[in-house]
């Protein structure tokens, strides 16, 4: 079987036409969805980039693979020590390769994040530029298309192609953003919500949209400096959608390359993302910084020869389920050390029983875990980082779809139920990860989720902006004076 896996950074499903978006951002993805199976309730178990792709390569949750942040404590990839490789928890790539299925990646992820374990098991690794994720889709295709022309008709391979374009900064040709001028944008956040968010002092807020104060270092045609109103929000959404459109065009070039080879219908195409992106949810913009629904809800579309067409599956699904499914598609048993469950029966249009709830985790910008079922979203914060957020949050998804009102105090019995689910999940996974420790605790012991920005850096940024009260609050909270002996 030939499998082509599109790994798209920061892609929200609700900005794709096949998921109901009004704008024409994704005609090529939409066509694959029409001809295949679209999963409406797919979630990355651990966010953001490093935890999510560690799950891809290992088939495990973040608590089990250990890389729950981007570097430092809490980012030690757990793997059995010694000279030989684990049969119980093999690398996804190595597992396929041992079954005589070639594995090829076109991705700069490992180079960008110094995640050298990501290189394990591939037959071929193509980083194609030294830009570390700052390359655009055409630069990816400049490397991928010649490979398809030469090797596309080969049998039995897994081809991994990563696009970064929906991730900021938006450096594609500006006309891809300009095509959406005047087109409707999402209703949320409205003007009142934006003005409320402008009072927030955390990074990626409406007021402090970018880490840098120097707007000249940013692509100004595709990104506003801050979100003052709905017009600024429109520019931000135009920029994001332009990145999706640019990526989709180049994804279409890949499909067309197989069409020219005469084997398009023989390819299993998988389209998904590492994580999604916040655009106003919890007062965060242009970021994937919490264990929230906006960050963890990702697309999944599978079009495979001989499988179901035009179907939508609404079962709760994890990204690690994809690894288990690919293994089963190739006739391989799912390793006992993996955390995913194969959804191959769904692709065969068979009835299956779905999960009752999901547990999601994040450790880079905040230390959080969430439990989600059909009605409730429970968010537990171990450390807020720079965010000003309640330690325990309960959202009513049916009546509050944008998760704006914390109803934890109104439903203590639901909070207790969700906390029990979380506690059992942690206990069960600590018993199976082979290390017996929680990487979240390592992050907390290191002082918290401060990797890209240290507290003193953000205090200085706030001081320079004249936000002295807020700067002092962060100073008191995180910049303790050393004890004098």
Query: Over 80: is that where the pLDDT of 484 sits?
Result: no
Q: Choose the final residue of a domain: 329, 356, 383.
A: 356
The mean pLDDT of 61-89, rounded to a whole number, is: 94
Predicted pLDDT of residue 196: 98
Query: Mean pLDDT throughout 458-473?
Result: 97
What is the reported pLDDT for 433?
A: 81
CATH number where 371 lies: 3.30.1120.10
Same domain assignment for residues 136 and 99: yes
Residue in 198, 233, 240, 205 with CA at minimum distance from that of residue 219: 240
Q: Which residues have C-beta within 8 Å of that of residue 24, sequence separation ≥ 6?
A: 17, 245
User: First CA to last CA across the chain, in angstroms?
Assistant: 68
Is 80 within a domain? yes
Q: What is the pLDDT of residue 485?
A: 64
What's the pLDDT score for residue 313?
98
DSSP assignment of 428-469 = HHHTTSSS-S-HHHHHHHTTSS-SS--HHHHHHHHHHTT-HH
**Are 262 and 399 contained in the same domain?**
no
Q: Which residues contact 281 (CB under 8 A, 6 or more apart)?
A: 292, 293, 294, 402, 403
Q: Any idea what the CATH number is for the domain that residue 196 is in? A: 3.40.720.10
Does 64 fall in a domain?
A: yes
**How many separate domains does the chain show?**
2
Give the residue-averaged pLDDT of 105-113.
Answer: 96
pLDDT given for residue 435 in this prediction: 87
Per-residue pLDDT tens for 257-305?
999 999 999 999 999 999 999 999 999 999 999 999 999 999 999 999 9
Tell me the average pLDDT of the chain: 96
Q: State which residues form the domain around 416.
A: 359-478
The pLDDT tens digits of the residues spanning 131-147 come to 999 999 999 999 999 99
The DSSP secondary-structure symbol of 403 reads: -
Residue 485 belongs to some domain of the structure = no
Number of separate helices (H) and strands (E) present in the chain = 16, 16
What 3-state DSSP class applies to 38? strand
Residue 408 clears pLDDT 70, i.e. is over it? yes
Q: What is the four-CA torsion angle of 422, 427, 432, 436, rounded to 10 degrees?
A: 120
Q: Are residues 348 and 364 in the same domain?
A: no
H helices present in 210-270, as ranges: 230-260
Shared-domain flag, residues 363 and 343 = no
One domain for residues 228 and 310: yes
* Mean pLDDT on 110-135: 95
pLDDT of 375 above 60: yes
Q: Is 89 left (phi over 0), alpha (psi -120 to 50) or beta?
A: beta
pLDDT, tens only, 150-194: 999 999 999 999 999 999 999 999 999 999 999 999 999 999 999
Nearest residue to 457 (alpha-carbon basis) of 205, 213, 113: 213
Q: Where is average pLDDT lowest: 37-51, 259-273, 373-387, 470-484?
A: 470-484
Overall average pLDDT of the 430-435 stretch: 87
Query: How far out from the chain centre does Cα 308 lie?
Result: 26
27 pLDDT above the threshold of 60: yes
Yes or no: say if 291 and 369 are a contact pair by the CB < 8 Å rule: yes
Give the pLDDT confidence score for residue 80 in this predicted structure. 87
Estimate the crossing angle of helix 455-464 against helix 468-478, to 10 degrees.
170
Domain membership of residue 483 (yes or no) is no
Number of residues that make up the chain: 485
For residue 380, list its beta bridge partners: 369, 392
What share of the chain in percent tops pLDDT 90? 95
Domain shared by 299 and 250, yes or no? yes
Sequence-separated (6 or more) residues with CB below 8 Å from residue 170 = 177, 219, 222, 223, 239, 240, 242, 243
Q: Is the pLDDT of residue 449 over 60?
A: yes
C-alpha–C-alpha distance, residues 459 and 468, integer Å: 9
The pLDDT of residue 482 is above 60: no
Residue 163, phi then psi, degrees to nearest 5: -115, 140
Residues 368 and 334 in one domain: no
Contact in structure between 272 and 319 (CB atoms under 8 Å): yes
Q: Are the C-beta atoms of 405 and 390 separated by less than 8 Å?
A: no
pLDDT tens digits along 79-94: 988 888 999 999 999 9
- Which of 337, 356, 375 is where one domain is finished? 356
Evaluate if residue 480 carries a pLDDT over 80.
no
Give the residue from 298, 321, 356 where a domain finishes.
356
Looking at the fold, whether 421 and 472 belong to one and the same domain comes out as: yes
Residue 226 falls inside a structural domain: yes
Task: Tell me how far apart the alpha carbons of residues 195 and 206 are, in angstroms, rounded to a whole number.
Answer: 8
**pLDDT band at 481, cuts 50/70/90?**
low
Q: Is residue 29 part of a domain?
A: yes
pLDDT > 80? residue 206: yes
Q: What is the DSSP string of 67-99?
A: B-SSSSTTB------SSS--SSS--HHHHHHHT
- Asked if pLDDT for residue 483 goes beyond 80, the answer is no
Written as six digits, the tokens of 375 are: 């009605």
Q: Give φ, ψ of 252 to 5 degrees.
A: -60, -35
> Exposed, middle or buried, 151 (CB in 10 Å: 0-12/13-18/19+)?
middle
Closest CA to 58 of 360, 339, 435: 339
Q: With residue 372 as reference, give the H or E element that holds it.
A: strand 367-372
- Whether 411 and 439 map to the same domain: the answer is yes
């Amino acid at each position: 079987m030939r499998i082509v896996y599109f790994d798209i950074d920061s892609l929200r499903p609700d900005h794709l036409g096949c998921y109901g978006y009004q704008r024409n951002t994704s005609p090529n993805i939409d066509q694959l969805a029409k001809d295949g199976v679209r999963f409406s309730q797919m979630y990355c178990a651990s966010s953001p980039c490093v935890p999510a792709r560690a799950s891809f390569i290992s088939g495990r949750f973040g608590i089990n693979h250990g890389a729950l942040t981007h570097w430092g404590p809490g980012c030690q990839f757990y793997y059995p020590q010694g000279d030989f490789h684990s049969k119980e928890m093999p690398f996804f790539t190595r597992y396929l390769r041992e079954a005589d299925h070639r594995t090829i990646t076109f991705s700069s992820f490992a180079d960008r994040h110094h995640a050298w374990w990501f290189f394990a098991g591939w037959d071929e690794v193509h980083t194609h530029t030294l830009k570390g994720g700052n390359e655009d889709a055409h630069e990816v295709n400049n490397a991928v298309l010649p490979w398809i022309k030469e090797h596309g008709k080969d049998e039995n391979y897994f081809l991994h192609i990563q696009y970064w374009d929906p991730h900021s900064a938006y450096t594609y040709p500006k006309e891809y953003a300009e095509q959406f001028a005047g087109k409707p944008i999402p209703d949320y956040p409205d003007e009142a919500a934006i003005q409320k968010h402008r009072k927030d002092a955390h990074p990626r807020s409406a007021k402090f949209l970018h880490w840098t104060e120097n707007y000249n270092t940013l692509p100004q045609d595709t990104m506003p400096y801050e979100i003052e109103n709905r017009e600024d929000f429109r520019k931000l959404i135009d920029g994001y959608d332009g990145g999706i459109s640019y990526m989709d065009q180049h994804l279409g070039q890949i499909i067309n390359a197989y069409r020219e080879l005469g084997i398009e219908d023989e390819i299993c195409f998988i389209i998904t993302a590492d994580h999604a992106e916040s655009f106003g949810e919890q007062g965060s913009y242009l970021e994937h910084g919490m264990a929230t629904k906006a960050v963890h809800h990702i697309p999944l579309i599978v079009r495979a020869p001989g499988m179901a067409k035009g179907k939508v599956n609404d079962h709760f699904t994890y990204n690690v389920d994809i690894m288990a499914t690919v293994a089963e598609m190739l006739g391989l048993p799912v390793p006992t050390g993996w955390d995913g469950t194969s959804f191959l029966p769904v692709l065969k249009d068979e009835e299956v029983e779905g999960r009752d709830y999901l547990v999601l985790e994040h450790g880079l910008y905040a230390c959080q875990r969430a439990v989600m079922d059909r009605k409730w979203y429970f968010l537990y914060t171990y450390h807020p980082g720079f965010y000003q957020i309640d330690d325990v949050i309960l959202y009513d998804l049916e009546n509050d779809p944008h998760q704006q009102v914390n109803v934890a105090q109104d439903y203590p019995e639901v909070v207790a139920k969700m906390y029990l689910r979380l506690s059992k999940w942690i206990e069960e996974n600590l018993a199976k990860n082979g290390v017996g420790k929680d990487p979240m605790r390592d992050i907390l012991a290191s002082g918290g989720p401060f990797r890209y920005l240290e507290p003193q850096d953000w205090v200085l940024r706030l001081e320079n902006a004249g936000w002295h009260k807020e700067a002092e609050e962060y100073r008191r909270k995180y910049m303790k004076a050393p004890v004098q002996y």
